[in-house]
Amino acid sequence: MNKIIYAFSMLFLVACNSKKDLRIDLHSFSEPHHVITTHLDLNVEVDFENECISGEARYHIENKTGHKQLILDSHGLQIHKVTSKDKNRNYFLGEKDSILGQPLIIELDKEDDEISVFYRSAPNSKALQWLSPEQTAGKRHPFLFTQSQAILARSWLPCQDSPGVRFTYEAQVKVPNDLLAVMSAENPREKNVDGVYTFKMEQAIPAYLMALGVGNLEFRELGASTGVYAEPALIEKSVYEFAETENMLRIAEEIYGAYAWDRFDILVLPPSFPYGGMENPRLTFVTPTILAGDRSLTSLIAHELAHSWSGNLVTNKTWNDFWLNEGFTVYFERRIMERLEGIAYSDMLSLLGRQDLDHTIETIGHSHSDTHLKLDLSGRDPVEALTDVAYEKGFFLLRLIEQTIGRKQFDFFLKKYFSENAFQVMDTESFVSYINNHLLNEQPKLKEKIRLEDWVYGPGIPENCPTIKSDKFKAVDQAIQSFERGYSLANLDCKHWSSHEWLHFLRHLPRNLTGKDLKKLDVAFNFSKSGNSEILNAWFLRSIPVGYKAAEKPLEQFLMTVGRRKFLKPLYEALYLKNPTKARRIYKNARGNYHSVSRETLDELIL
């Protein structure tokens, strides 16, 4: 009998599911317009032996339409049972989609205001990277980190995995008792004997900002509201590198208003982290490859900090509106760096960004719709489809508006934009009408100059894109010319060059350099042994096509340890072009060290 009732209710659920699709975000199965999750109580255990996270995710829900079902996203999760206040609820997992995972469809009673899902993550959960001790700095303890953006949170906890669904959370996480757990929440600072840690996040966040890190971690304060977590072997270096963080926070607040997240701490991850940084609220995750020893790569911290406004406070409604997160953040990052280091410095960042953008647009094709700011990612994995366009075309549009309208007025507008839309989502269309209504319509001549819609809905780089001049880069260009004319490298006036100037230098050396030329450069500047990951990367991109021998070992070493996709993709592309067998060999050895995000990109390229 029970079985018959069950079968009928399943049929009913399936029938409900075939109604008209009102979803706003096509990258989530959830239907928050019917039932929305508002708070999460997470109680999980982290099992390093079996490489899984398991436990209970209990959600407070708000049933807006008296709907009969709650839909959560899941990817590879094993569901043990679903209850509401200890009473079982029927559920089933819908059809599998290779990108989106599976909907977890839960039958609701009218009065249900909470739902508990008992689950376990898959051993190969896409969000999780389980590191052996050898893959860490200390070599003695394992490490786990999550990477939820864009749609991977669902692979480590069932959730409505759409940027438009915000929830507060509390968590209890049990880990091996020699490790510390930290989350995108209020965090512990020290290990305790039982390995059980509790967390609280009182500001509502979307699932893509859910984050967990577990490892042999130490905490150090950087300032009153800022600090850093790292393995003991890296903690001193991290404290030195990130010494400006508190300053950055003060500067950011002066520009765009109060910081909404209480603390800004940083977690330094092992080098296999697939990104440079991830703006998990209260606890930014960063790659250790920015520990250059001279604070030269810290604009990345400014970037992740800037997301505390653009992204975490005002959030892109769907991944099609990604530029509202990243373009604003790059603009804001450079404003922070301008205040900190001067305009000559931030202009170098902008010019390097412009070079990246030109290269990306060249690769995608000038008229391709992926060069629009407003994207159409339906049917695609956002993590594969998102490019520099959102970052740098977005930045240049905002810089154009700033230049046209005037900084003072633009700042006033942005401050208001962040405060009026705090803890809400924004899509491109709403932003366009917001800026028209609050800024541009009252100045039709200036509005006409900007041509916002061409930027947002049109391809390529519009011709009114601001140009940026840099005396510093001009000096680098001159140095390159003198090198080309055969002058000795010893005469180059480069003692005070920052890593940005070196990047510009390496990117603009003539295409037809020989092994001999590279050797000369290497002897003079020691590029193959640079401790700066950006410089190493740019150097390898020059050395690979030439087959320059002395850089081969360092390249292999780099590829074996660093998992940052931004470096790996171009390096493997260049290597594959030069020597596919070698590229394949190195990749096969290194693949086990990479996060699924990097692996997926590279598998396509190489295997």
Output 189-196 pairs: Cβ under 8 A, ≥24 positions apart. 189/219, 190/219, 196/172
Q: Is there a contact between 61 and 52 (Cβ–Cβ < 8 Å)?
A: no
Give SS3 for 38: strand
Residue 134: C-alpha distances to residues 127, 145, 265 (Å): 21, 15, 26
Please give the size of the binding site for ligand BES, defined by CB under 6 A: 16
Closest to ligand BES by CB, 260 vs 494, is 260
Closest to ligand BES by CB, 385 vs 546, is 385
Given candidates 75, 303, 500, 599, which one binds ligand BES under the rule CB under 6 A?
A: 303
Q: Work out what residue 155 binds among ligand BES, Zn ion, none; the CB cut-off runs from 5 to 8 Å by kind.
A: none
CB of 234 to ligand BES, least distance (A): 18
Which stretch, 99-107, 277-285, 445-453, 581-589, contacts ligand BES (CB under 6 A)?
277-285
Closest to ligand BES by CB, 373 vs 521, is 373
Closest to ligand BES by CB, 234 vs 597, is 597
Q: Work out what residue 300 binds among Zn ion, ligand BES, none; the CB cut-off runs from 5 to 8 Å by kind.
A: ligand BES
Q: Is there a contact between 132 and 142 (Cβ–Cβ < 8 Å)?
A: yes
Q: Is 277 in the site for ligand BES (CB under 6 A)?
A: yes
Closest to Zn ion by CB, 329 vs 346, is 329
Q: Work out what residue 537 binds among ligand BES, Zn ion, none; the CB cut-off runs from 5 to 8 Å by kind.
A: none
Which stretch, 138-146, 270-278, 430-438, 583-591, contacts ligand BES (CB under 6 A)?
270-278
CB of 303 to Zn ion, least distance (A): 6
Q: Is 275 in the site for ligand BES (CB under 6 A)?
A: yes
- What six digits make up the tokens of 492? 């180059």
List 197, 275, 391, 548, catalytic entry? 391
197 in catalytic set:
no
Query: Rounded distance, CA 478 to CA 225, Å?
Result: 44
- What six digits make up the tokens of 161? 């995995």
Q: Can you give 171-236 as a three-state secondary structure string?
A: EEEECCCCCEEEECCECCCCCCCCCEEEEEEEEEEEHHHCCEEEECCEEEECCCCEEEEECHHHHH
Site for ligand BES in 521-580 (CB under 6 A): 566
- What six digits make up the tokens of 157? 């906890």
* Through-space distance between the first and last CA atoms of the chain, rounded to whole angstroms: 52
> Phi, psi (5° rounding) for residue 493?
-90, 75
Q: Is 307 in the site for ligand BES (CB under 6 A)?
A: yes
Site for ligand BES in 83-122 (CB under 6 A): none
Q: Is there a contact between 90 and 81 (Cβ–Cβ < 8 Å)?
A: no
Q: Is there a contact between 309 and 252 (Cβ–Cβ < 8 Å)?
A: yes
Q: Is 214 in the site for ligand BES (CB under 6 A)?
A: no
Given candidates 53, 127, 150, 518, which one binds ligand BES under the rule CB under 6 A?
A: 150
Q: Is 349 in the site for ligand BES (CB under 6 A)?
A: no
**At a CB cut-off of 8 Å and minimum separation 6, what does 321 contact?**
374, 375, 426, 427, 428, 431
For the beta carbon of residue 411, count every other beta carbon within 10 angstroms.
Answer: 16
Query: Rounded distance, CA 423 to CA 314, Å?
Result: 6
Q: Is 164 in the site for ligand BES (CB under 6 A)?
A: no
Query: Rounded distance, CA 253 to CA 309, Å?
Result: 10
Longest dimension (CA), the chain: 91
For the beta carbon of residue 233, count every other beta carbon within 10 angstroms.
Answer: 15
Query: Rounded distance, CA 137 to CA 144, Å?
Result: 13
Closest to ligand BES by CB, 306 vs 586, is 306
CB of 244 to ligand BES, least distance (A): 15
- What six digits make up the tokens of 265? 């701490």
Site for ligand BES in 362-391 (CB under 6 A): 383, 386, 391
Residues that bind Zn ion in the complex, under the rule CB under 5 A:
326, 329
CB of 383 to ligand BES, least distance (A): 5
Site for ligand BES in 386-415 (CB under 6 A): 386, 391
Closest to Zn ion by CB, 37 vs 280, is 280
Which stretch, 164-172, 198-206, 271-279, 412-420, contacts ligand BES (CB under 6 A)?
271-279
- What six digits make up the tokens of 281? 């609220």
- CA quadruple 530, 349, 211, 105: dihedral sign: negative
CB of 152 to ligand BES, least distance (A): 8
List 31, 107, 304, 338, catalytic entry? 304
CB of 307 to Zn ion, least distance (A): 6
User: Residue 141 is which amino acid?
Assistant: H
CB of 524 to ligand BES, least distance (A): 29
CB of 208 to ligand BES, least distance (A): 8
Given candidates 249, 278, 405, 590, which one binds ligand BES under the rule CB under 6 A?
A: 278
Q: Work out what residue 276 binds among Zn ion, ligand BES, none; the CB cut-off runs from 5 to 8 Å by kind.
A: ligand BES
Q: Is 276 in the site for ligand BES (CB under 6 A)?
A: yes
Q: Which residues bind ligand BES (CB under 6 A)?
A: 149-150, 275-279, 300, 303-304, 307, 326, 383, 386, 391, 566
Residue positions annotated with a catalytic role: 304, 391
